[in-house]
Structure 1
Amino acid sequence: MGRSVVWGLYALILALAPLVFTSSLSHTLLSQMGIAIIVCLSYNILLGQGGMLSFGHAVYSGMGAFLAIHTLRLVSGGLALPVSLIPLVGGVASLVLALLLGWVTTKKAATPFAMITLGIGELVWAMALMFPGFFGGEAGLSGNRVAGSPLLGITLGPQIELYYLIALYTLVCTALMYAFTRTPLGRMLNAVRDNPERAAFVGYNPQMVRYLAFVIAAFFAGISGGLAALNFEIVTSEVLSGHRSGAYLLFTFLGGTTFFFGPIIGAILMVLAFVLLSELTQAWLLYLGLIFIVMVTLAPGGVASLVMLNLRWVRSGGWRRLWPVYGVLLATGLLALSGAAALLEMLYHLQLGAALGPELPFFGVTLNIDEPYSWLGAAAVLLIGLMLFELSRRRFMHHAQGGGGA
């Protein structure tokens, strides 16, 4: 019953989100979040369930996007195929590619597997520039998603119509990937991750298990690529880059690989970082790196592990004692973050924006890179914030251990 409620809430959120957030920017963000959820969940089939660290997952989402945009161009030329089915073309194309490359890729596990995926990723990305006839060169390929015949009066022209198509794919793909975790193959994938020798001893071929999981993950990654092709109506070689694969790894890990819903959180964070954080500061990649280091150090299980930890405390009644400590943690964390951000923005401005003058605005405060008080003040705020945060964290752990003992 509880699982049915969760799935019902998930579907309800997908259905009502564009009605709550009604701006065009919100609809665009929600569409990108749906696409990112599918690809991050597919990546977690490899990383979280199979223990396979891939540096080339963008090959399969990217090739799905390219085959989808080629199909969309054929639809514009008269091919009788509903545009709403084009993401499945991307999924099948990536599945076929994984069937061809996956056996070699999954021959090894652990570090050799990661290196093979890195090599294949760089190879395919280089090919995208070598064969402009298929990949479109540096300009990429573009299409028109409203070129096909409307299906039930739906043209996919308005962003909200496309969002609901993406939401439907997101719901179905999420359900299918969750169902995969409950299958014997999904369970055996966990066994191969934890102890491949024992799995081989009881009669299973670890490489075959990894290979099948690899193909399934590529299929869903291709669907996400096809949806991205419809959403942006242009595909460039960037979708095959190592930078894109690194983003999948980073945010899947940040969301939490040990819980099924962790990559969903990571996908939402990825879109917010790429779209909103990049608008706030030019040094946004530096912030992402620092956030990743902090999360690995303080919460290696990702955001999902923090959510589950708090749910346990809520059920045990310990939340009443902990919420004041949470407030202090949040306040001191924001204080330390503001000091660190001020230092980073001044350093960035000093190196790359000094020609614009010594002053820069920072959340209502004017900082001056030529004045020592700006640097000393930011450093003092950072140090005070860190000290108070550490004291608050120790108090939090003390209360949490007390709550757990009770």
Structure 2
Amino acid sequence: MSALGDAEAARRGKTGGLSLSAAAPWLIAIVLLAGLPFVFTGGAALTVMNQMAITIIFALAYNMLLGQGGMLSFGHAVYMGLGGFFCVHLMNMVEYDGLLLPLPLLPLFGGLFGLLFAFIIGSFSTRRAGTVFAMISLGVGELIASLSIIVVAFFGGEEGVSGDRTMGPVVAGFDFASQKEVYYLTAAWLFVSALAMFLYSRTPVGRIANAVRDNEERAEFLGYSQRYVRWISFCASGFFAGIAGGLFAINFEILTEENLNLATSGSILLITFLGGVGFFLGPVIGAVVFTLLQTVLSLYTEIWALYVGLLFVLTVMFFPSGLAGVFAIHVRPWQLGKIGLLASPYLKMFVPALLFVFSAAAVLEILFHARHAAIGEEQMSLFGLTFNSHGVWPLTIAIIICVASYLILKRLAPSLKEAWDEANHGEVGR
């Protein structure tokens, strides 16, 4: 064996060709997914985690299209929705027609249905990228969303189509009546789908998709058909989006026009950009943050969507690589052994930043309550305090704190920049 072969064998270790460092994140993911129901035991928490897992699969599927293939789609919820509708009809066939289909296999059929429509639509929509593809995806999305109201036989009209997941055959003693059983089914499909999409991104087709995204003329010159590469990526993305739709059907047992309209397509675009398009974990982070804001923050404020929009705008303006990019830019200081230089500036800015966020939120909440509160309901509770939202002082104090904390942050910014430049100065390995 050559010296290169010995080095490669030593690097791979004892995992049959798979390095321990590459397998570790997936082993951690298995432990995390298996242990979460023991930490969050409530039914509401399990529902939120199920929704989070479905959103992660959908966001990763969309990132295959946008981040890996460079195709901006405004109608990708179509493939998730169609996969979900098909799965609901299969659930009804199991209940009323005696179809012997185990529930754990249902998302696979949703994926195949999404793949079918992605194959058909992609045959003409992937001829061009850029604005042309985006406008075609928008038109197709609006067309199918409109058809969901007209074609009542398949889409159920405005009421949608519902089913019952418990009417299928029992699998290994599980009838999937409890939310915990549904969670483990969803988590299993999340792990398999995420691993499959990660491995796909490492295949030659996935690498060529990156090349077509970066420079399609050069990829064409090297002999690769940019159209067929985009088509393959589009079909793969549609397949996994259909799996997400099947899991949605299992979890919520109903599909409506909302599952495939422009709003859902816009939400997944926001989630992907928020997490970070250029990173595999970006959509995962975006899906987790968005789901928590949508489900948890919405319990405390009616203007949660405004906060999501502000977070998205600020992320695009100051962190174009998304939330995952915020972690990525700290890798170099870590490798240089200078990450400690950032600790002091971060600690100094933590309290003012916290005050700025909460005081700005207080200003928005007071203004909203003063404008939309019913006549006679002038008292409001915020951060454990009860006060008159129509008075002058609550709003004035919130504005003063907001402005003061902003000025403090602005004054501390130069020291942070100096520390950041110092932490990134040097070469790794020296």
Residue matched to 1:92: 112
Cα deviation, residue 109, structure 1: 1.1
Q: Does 1:281 align with 2:301?
A: yes
Letter in 1 for 2:398: A
Partner of 1:377: 397
Q: How many residues get paired?
A: 406
In the TM superposition, residue 356 of structure 1 has moved relative to its aligned partner by 5.3
Q: Among 259, 275, 286, which residue is 1:266 paired with?
A: 286
| 1:368-406 deviation line (CA, Å, top 9, x unaligned) | 332222222121122122222233343222211101115
Q: Write the distance in 1 (CA, Å) between the matches of 2:176 and 2:412.
A: 51
**Rounded Cα–Cα distance in structure 1 between residues aligned with 2:358 and 2:387:** 13
Which residue of the partner structure matches residue 64 of structure 1? 83
SS of alignment partner, residue 51 of structure 1: coil
TM-score in terms of structure 2 length? 0.91
Secondary structure of 1:30's partner? helix
**How far 1:292 sits from its partner (Å)?**
0.8
Q: Which moved more, 1:162-171 or 1:395-404?
A: 395-404
Q: Which position in structure 1 is the counterpart of 2:59? A: 40
With normalisation by structure 1, the TM-score equals 0.96
Q: Which residue of 2 aligns with 1:329?
A: 349
> How far is the alpha carbon of 1:352 from its aligned partner?
2.2
Kindly indicate whether residue 200 of structure 2 is the aligned counterpart of residue 180 of structure 1: yes
* Structure 1 residues 358 and 144, CA gap change in structure 2 (3 angstroms): same
Task: Give the residue type in structure 1 aligned to 2:69.
Answer: G
| Matches of 1:338 and 1:83, distance apart in 2 | 45
In 2, Cα distance between equivalents of 1:327 and 1:270: 26
Q: Which residue of 1 aligns with 2:259?
A: 239
- Partner residue, 1:218: 238
Which has the higher mean CA deviation after the structures are superposed, 352-361 or 78-87?
352-361
The answer as to 2:41 corresponding to 1:22 is: yes
Counterpart of 1:146, as a letter, is: T
Q: Distance in 1 between matches of 2:263 and 2:339?
A: 40
C-alpha separation between the residues in 2 aligned to 1:258 and 1:330? 28
Task: State how far apart, in whole Å, the 2-side matches of 1:356 and 1:337 are.
Answer: 29
Partners of 1:294 and 1:224 in 2: CA distance: 29
- Show the 5 A alignment for 1:357-396: 357-396=377-416
1:220-245 deviation line (CA, Å, top 9, x unaligned): 00000100100011111110111111
Q: Is the 8 A contact 2:370 2:390 kept in 1?
A: no
Looking at structure 1, the residues matched to 177 and 348 of structure 2 have their Cα atoms a distance apart, in angstroms, of 48
| Deviates further, 68-77 or 310-319 | 310-319
In the alignment, the residues of structure 1 paired with residue 103 and residue 420 of structure 2 have an alpha-carbon distance, to the nearest angstrom, of: 52
The structure number with the bigger radius of gyration is 2
Q: Work out whether 1:254 is the aligned partner of 2:274.
A: yes
> Bigger shift: 175-184 or 324-333?
324-333
Q: Report if the CA contact (8 A) 1:18-1:30 is conserved.
A: no
What do the CA deviations read for 1:291-330 (whole angstroms, capped 9, x no partner)? 1111112211111111122343334332322223222333
Query: Is 1:198 paired with 2:202?
Result: no
Give the distance between the partners of 1:136 and 1:351, measured in 2 at CA.
Answer: 39
Query: In the alignment, which of 131, 147, 160 is matched to residue 127 of structure 1?
Result: 147
1:331-365 deviation digits (Å, cap 9, x = unpaired): 22221111211111122223322435222111122
Q: Could you tell me which amino acid in structure 2 is paired with residue 110 of structure 1?
A: G
AA paired with 1:212? I
Matched residue SS, 2:330: helix
Larger mean CA deviation between 17-26 and 35-44 belongs to 17-26
Conserved? CA contact 1:340–1:378, under 8 Å? yes
* Residues 128 and 356 of structure 1: CA distance in aligned 2, closer, same or farther (over 3 Å): farther
Q: CA separation of 1:394/1:17 partners in 2, compared to 1, >3 Å: closer, same or farther?
A: farther
C-alpha contact (below 8 Å) 2:169/2:175 kept by paired residues = yes
Shift in Å at residue 120 of structure 1?
A: 1.1
**Cα distance in 2 for residues equivalent to 1:162 and 1:92:** 21
Offset at residue 366 of structure 1 (A): 2.9
Deviates further, 267-276 or 61-70: 267-276
Question: Contact 1:58–1:244 (CA<8 Å) still a contact in 2?
Answer: yes
Q: Which residue of 1 aligns with 2:312?
A: 292
Counterpart in the other structure of 1:165: 185
- Tell me how far apart the structure 2 counterparts of residues 351 and 122 of structure 1 sit (CA, whole Å): 35
User: Secondary structure at 1:366's aligned position in 2?
Assistant: strand
> 1:270 & 1:216 partners in 2: Cα distance?
24
RMSD: 1.4
**Cα distance in structure 1, aligned partners of 2:374 and 2:139:** 39
Asked whether the equivalents of residues 65 and 225 of structure 1 are also in contact (C-alpha less than 8 Å), the reply is yes
- Cα distance change on mapping 1:234 and 1:379 into 2, 3 Å: same
Q: Does 1:344 align with 2:349?
A: no
Percent of aligned pairs sharing the same letter: 40
Amino acid at match of 1:382: C
Q: CA deviation at 1:52?
A: 1.1
What is the SS of the residue equivalent to 2:296? helix
Residue 138 of structure 1: SS of its match in structure 2? helix
